[in-house]
Amino acid sequence: MMEWTDRHCRFFHRLLTRRAQLYTEMITTGAVLRGDRARLLAFDPAEHPVAAQLGGSDPKALAESARICADFGYDEINLNVGCPSDRVREGRFGACLMAEPALVGECVAAMKAAVRIPVTVKCRIGIDSQDAEASLDTLARMLVTAGVDALIVHARKAWLDGLSPKENRDIPPLDYDRVYRLKRAFPALSIAINGGIASVEHAVTHLAHVDGAMMGRAAYQEPWRLLAVDPLIYGAPAPLPSPKAAIEAFLPYVERELARGTRLHAMTRHILGLFHGVPGARAFRRHIATEAVKTGAGIAVLRGALGHVVDARAELAHIAA
Ligand SMILES: Cc1cc2nc3c(=O)[nH]c(=O)nc-3n(C[C@H](O)[C@H](O)[C@H](O)COP(=O)(O)O)c2cc1C
């Protein structure tokens, strides 16, 4: 997610779940091909499995970008066919590609020919006045022909006319049944559902109908929820016993990054929701928000913030809830 799932965020999320697939922010082919690649694409080996999400619509540029990402060590290439922003539309990629299924197929075929790692697509159930039944089936058929390895479907139409991208995050309503029907129509295609999944428990209910579930805002805004992913989805123990333990585990990374010149705030902004709903959460957030932005702020800020969160039992009850 743009501005959110940068490498610091992903490193932190990986402490909370060993198994969930993590995704980069959308990176345009222009940025991959002509930008500061080392800065844009670098990630910590601990982040695996991690997918690079590309934005673009030129098969050649996508193939080359996919190859570069694969060489960087990413585990999956994902093509964005769901972003509704104006800037993205002008570049003829993102959600407007829902109207050009043959081109999306060409893009996927070109990327598949360029890399050995899985190539996946994240799309919407439709755009604007598109018939979400026929058009989504058509897109899926073309993607299967192109060799796509999986499809992630945000179960909400993208509205390119008349709604801002922000409004479009909650309007029009979600239609999970449309994604379930797609899975029934394409049983051999791996399909994950996305949109409005508020908890890992909620994600589990989707798995009766589809192969995977992607969490966006809930994972970012309340990262403690990720501690339930390995136990509830994969039947494996949680990597850490509590959100507090996650902060402790994050400290060596934070120290390393501080030494490289990364500002504390660039890392701590991703952990503000870690104690959401438990006693001391507000003081924890406030402490970080005011202290981490100060010049020279170091890990003492994190330790100080942790001191505000007193009730470890409540944290655990929260995870089990
Ligand atoms: C701040 C923000 C940035 C986002 N950036 C991306 C992005 O780069 N690529 C993408 O496929 N979706 C992006 N999305 C959409 C989410 O991936 C997701 O599809 C959407 O928020 C619905 O899922 P959720 O209800 O679990 O958040 C973004 C959403 C938000 C709130």
pLDDT by residue, tens only, the chain of 321 residues:
999 999 999 999 999 999 999 999 999 999 999 999 999 999 999 999 999 999 999 999 999 999 999 999 999 999 999 998 876 666 788 999 999 999 999 999 999 999 999 999 999 999 998 998 999 999 999 999 999 999 999 999 998 888 888 888 888 999 999 999 999 999 999 999 999 999 999 999 999 999 999 999 999 999 999 999 999 999 999 999 999 999 999 999 999 999 999 999 999 999 999 999 899 999 999 999 999 999 999 999 999 999 999 755 444 544 544
Nearest protein CA to atom 11 of ligand 1, as residue: 80
Q: Is 94 left (phi over 0), alpha (psi -120 to 50) or beta?
A: left
- Angle at which helix 281-291 crosses helix 299-306, to 10 degrees, equals 160
Does ligand 1 have an atom closer than 6 angstroms to the CB of 207?
no
Q: With contact defined as beta carbons under 8 Å apart, do 234 and 19 qualify? A: yes
Nearest protein CA to atom 3 of ligand 1, as residue: 1
Cis upstream peptide for 237 (omega within 30°)? no
**Rounded to the nearest whole angstrom, what is the distance from the C-alpha of residue 1 to the centroid of ligand 1?**
5
Candidates 262, 282, 263; CA nearest to 273 is 282
DSSP-derived secondary structure letter, 312:
H
pLDDT of residue 313: 45
**Rounded to the nearest whole angstrom, what is the distance from the C-alpha of residue 313 to the centroid of ligand 1?**
32
Report yes or no on whether pTM surpasses 0.75.
yes
**Where do runs of H (alpha helix) occur along the chain?**
7-16, 29-34, 37-41, 59-72, 86-90, 101-114, 134-146, 176-185, 200-206, 217-221, 229-234, 243-259, 264-268, 281-291, 299-306, 312-320
Ligand 1 atom at shortest distance from the alpha carbon of 1: 5
Q: With contact defined as beta carbons under 8 Å apart, do 64 and 39 qualify? A: no
What DSSP line would sit under 179-212, residue for residue? Answer: HHHHHHH-TTS-EEEESS--SHHHHHHHTTTSSE
Contacts of 169 (CB under 8 A, 6+ apart): 217
Does ligand 1 have an atom closer than 6 angstroms to the CB of 26?
yes
Does ligand 1 have an atom closer than 6 angstroms to the CB of 217?
yes
